[in-house]
Structure 1
Amino acid sequence: MPLTEETPGSPAPAIEDQEPGHFPTRVCLLIGQLGLGGAEKQLVLLARGLSARGIRTHLLVLFEKGPREEELQGSGVRVVELGFRPRQDGWKSYAVNLRALARLVVFLRKERPQVLQAFLFSAYVLAAPAACLARVPVLVAGRRSLGFFKKGNRLALAVERVATRWTDFLVANATAIADEVRRDEGVPAAKISVIPNGMRRSEFEPAVPADVVTSLPVVLCVANFGAHKGHRYLLKACSALRSSGHPCTLVLIGDGPERAPLRQMADRLGIDVRFLGARTDVACFLARADAVVLPSLYEGSSNAVMEAMAAGRPVVATAVGGTPELLEGRGVLVPPADAAGLAEGLRQVLHDPDAAAALGRKAREWAMANLTDDVMVERYMTLYRQLLEGRRTR
């Protein structure tokens, strides 16, 4: 598969020709694909923000593009598809992926970025050898989730450790993630920092409420249907609320392998659950919701929680990963895998609308001060400058 690029650019000037104070002038961002996940959203926000600040920005995609590519239209960001194949395609994928890795190295040598930043596991383990071979001055790896998916996988852990040694700096989007990396991988504190996720200013603007026909309070959960998202405990919690005389309408936005079993469970419990699938109009449902809930068993830094905060909705969520950093004093935190605790948290919010509204206002004010895309991009810019200046003074 040939390397493809939108809006090809002119050859980049040599690094030595740039004024130190103007760093960075060229940045490449690397990820597996451009789906609707939270990491992809943050990557697109960063790419747009860098380009808006006059930085020549390429977004490199390992496997395929995706729906978030539309969000880059008119931004000046150049999207490059590298042509890697997932490993499940068999032995043929190894030869294809070696050629794709060679294309990545050739592209980096031609473009000569001062910074290459990789998002998610596949991207940062491939970025490490490519950056070394292409002599990219600074390689940054993003850590955006807790490491449950690597537990017991010796090969993945070994590859990650080697990649980390070849990486200049790590960025986590929550203190809980940074702490785990330092503790479990022995990464020095000086090699990792925290830059929280960001949101577009438009996400703070009022939306037209969605039409959800019900006479009951509406509880919204935005999360794909994987076992670790804890939907089963949420359904049990809604059943407990119904039994105690506090029924609600549960609206679920997302998709995944657990959808069919969850639908069967909801029918068996006799609760009002609306399965809406994956959607891009989440803001309208946030505007309609009386409460937002996230019952995850583990979590990194949740974009769904952040979006609810921006909309001023009261949030009930499990105290896992980076969620307490977002909601401490600004939401209701409950233990994970605890249907009774989740039901009580929802009951508190739904029973006292005035207190719930106050929580929502407090969360929104904090998010506006700390979680905008402008704040996030400026933090990355500062980090890039510090790393580049550090290389020049060695």
Structure 2
Amino acid sequence: MSGAQGAPGAPGTPFVPGTSCRRRRLAATAGGGEIPCASTGVHVRSLTEGLVAHGLRVTVCAPYGAEQAYGFTAAGAQLAEVGHTAAHSAAAQPPSVPRNAALASLPGPLHTDAETVLALRRACADADLVHAHGLHAGLLAAMALGRRRRHVPLVVTWHTREHAYGAHRGLVRLLERRVARAAGVVLGATTDLVDLARRRGARDARLAPVALPFPEPRSGSYDQLSADPDAAAKVRAEIGAVDRPLLLAVGRLDPLQGHGTALTAARAWRGLEPPPLLAIAGEGPRRGVLQARIDAEALPVRLLGRRDDAFDLLAVADIALLPARWEARSLLAQEALRAGVPLVASAVGGLPELVGDAGLLVPYADADALAAAVTGLLRDPGRRESLATAGRARAARLPTEDDTVAHVLSVYDELLTR
């Protein structure tokens, strides 16, 4: 029996929050000392559950506060808390409203303090394999393993791309090179991340099927709203979209999400009859700037703030918008496809391979193209219906959580039997 698939009680334990090890022990670490962005945390939790179901003992190394947000122990993992407290983390936000950005710790301070590295080193002391989720987590895992990397394989999954400016750009490039060369295998969530890892010197970089679990049904959920016209009408009235089309965007209010482009496009929608309302669910540092512009230009846009039911709102939306600068496997895009809601998104990162022809892709930061795509869909019910059908079919073919677990186990087996 390979070390990657040892039964309970076999030497080794899987480790999950950004770095994972196995004894045959697996350790995983996520977030690199800070609470991981939501899609990464959700993936790590899902992967943990799958590994445990296959008889692995998993230890997840996560920052303080991550357990409350993602429930790694409920998935069957042991927990080793490392890094900084939630009070020091700008990413302390539950998975209902994703950050859709790179790790919160970058391009800011790297937090590679000795205490965090030593804590990871202790947690991985008996590990046979370490799996780090995220660039910063990969750096910390490499530092914690040190010379043991010759005998303990390091797998690093790149879920997203770092965006840095000025002097930070060179720092991020150095970080990418260090992590790519330290890993036995780099798993990229998108083709462009795999290409980047190879350019940075990765010995072995592969595309990984990163599946995200869909939310559990609850009161007021998507399925319930879809089946209850009165409840849906009530939600639309609450948002302010009575007798007018509703456009929905979900994401953290930061520059990477492209909300400024959406606001510029909204100028063109004012001339439509009736004018559609753009509702944006999420919080972040750009809220004040965006709200000031909405008020000054009298734009048909409403900031909803943080919503636990953000993705359920797709049940009452006519079109989903994703004007981000970069996305890997966007939660909003996947949910929109599954729900059969026409999607207009930036043609960036992993979105073209995720969406295919089941959505409309426009150049990033091109407000005219975004406005034209939305206007065209609003005027063409037949096109909206065809995209809805294509989206559902596309969603049915996306990798499942079982696919993700099977792929990761095959990588572990390969590394542990070399």
Cα distance change of structure 1 residues 311 and 140 upon mapping to structure 2, 3 Å threshold: same
Looking at structure 2, the residues matched to 117 and 35 of structure 1 have their Cα atoms a distance apart, in angstroms, of 15
Per the alignment, in what secondary structure is the counterpart of residue 113 of structure 2? helix
Is contact 2:340–2:389 with CA below 8 Å preserved after alignment? yes
Is contact 2:186–2:202 with CA below 8 Å preserved after alignment? no
Asked if 1:372 corresponds to 2:400, the answer is yes
2:80 matched residue in structure 1? 80
Normalising to structure 1: TM-score of the pair?
0.83
Measured against aligned partners, the alpha-carbon deviations of 1:120-174 in whole angstroms (never above 9, x if no partner) come to 2221101012123555622111112234327743344334423332211101101
| Seq. identity, % | 28
Looking at structure 1, the residues matched to 112 and 278 of structure 2 have their Cα atoms a distance apart, in angstroms, of 45
1:42 matched residue in structure 2? 43
Looking at structure 2, the residues matched to 294 and 328 of structure 1 have their Cα atoms a distance apart, in angstroms, of 15
Unaligned stretches of 5+ residues in structure 1: 1-9, 16-22
Q: How does 1:53-72 map to 2 (within 5 A)?
A: 53-62=54-63, 64-65=65-66, 67-70=68-71, 72=72
One of 136, 149, 162 as aligned partner of 2:164: 149
Measured against aligned partners, the alpha-carbon deviations of 1:15-35 in whole angstroms (never above 9, x if no partner) come to 9xxxxxxx9863221012445
Looking at structure 1, the residues matched to 282 and 307 of structure 2 have their Cα atoms a distance apart, in angstroms, of 7
2:16 matched residue in structure 1? none
Looking at structure 2, the residues matched to 206 and 379 of structure 1 have their Cα atoms a distance apart, in angstroms, of 30
Is contact 2:11–2:23 with CA below 8 Å preserved after alignment? no
Q: Which amino acid aligns with 2:129?
A: V
1:187: how far off? 3.1
Asked if 1:251 corresponds to 2:279, the answer is yes
Structure with greater helix share of residues: 1
1:182 matched residue in structure 2? 198
1:294 matched residue in structure 2? 322
Is contact 2:325–2:364 with CA below 8 Å preserved after alignment? yes
1:63: how far off? 5.0
2:95 matched residue in structure 1? none
Asked if 1:271 corresponds to 2:270, the answer is no
Asked if 1:283 corresponds to 2:311, the answer is yes
Measured against aligned partners, the alpha-carbon deviations of 1:258-314 in whole angstroms (never above 9, x if no partner) come to 111111111222233232222332232011111101011233332221122122211
Instruction: Give the superposed CA RMSD.
Output: 3.1
1:116 matched residue in structure 2? 130
Unaligned stretches of 5+ residues in structure 2: 1-7, 14-21, 91-104, 226-231
Is contact 2:12–2:24 with CA below 8 Å preserved after alignment? no
Per the alignment, in what secondary structure is the counterpart of residue 26 of structure 2? strand
1:206: how far off? 5.0
Asked if 1:164 corresponds to 2:164, the answer is no
Per the alignment, in what secondary structure is the counterpart of residue 74 of structure 1? helix
Per the alignment, in what secondary structure is the counterpart of residue 200 of structure 1? coil
1:108: how far off? 1.1
Normalising to structure 2: TM-score of the pair?
0.78
Further displaced range: 238-247 or 223-232: 238-247
Is contact 1:238–1:271 with CA below 8 Å preserved after alignment? yes
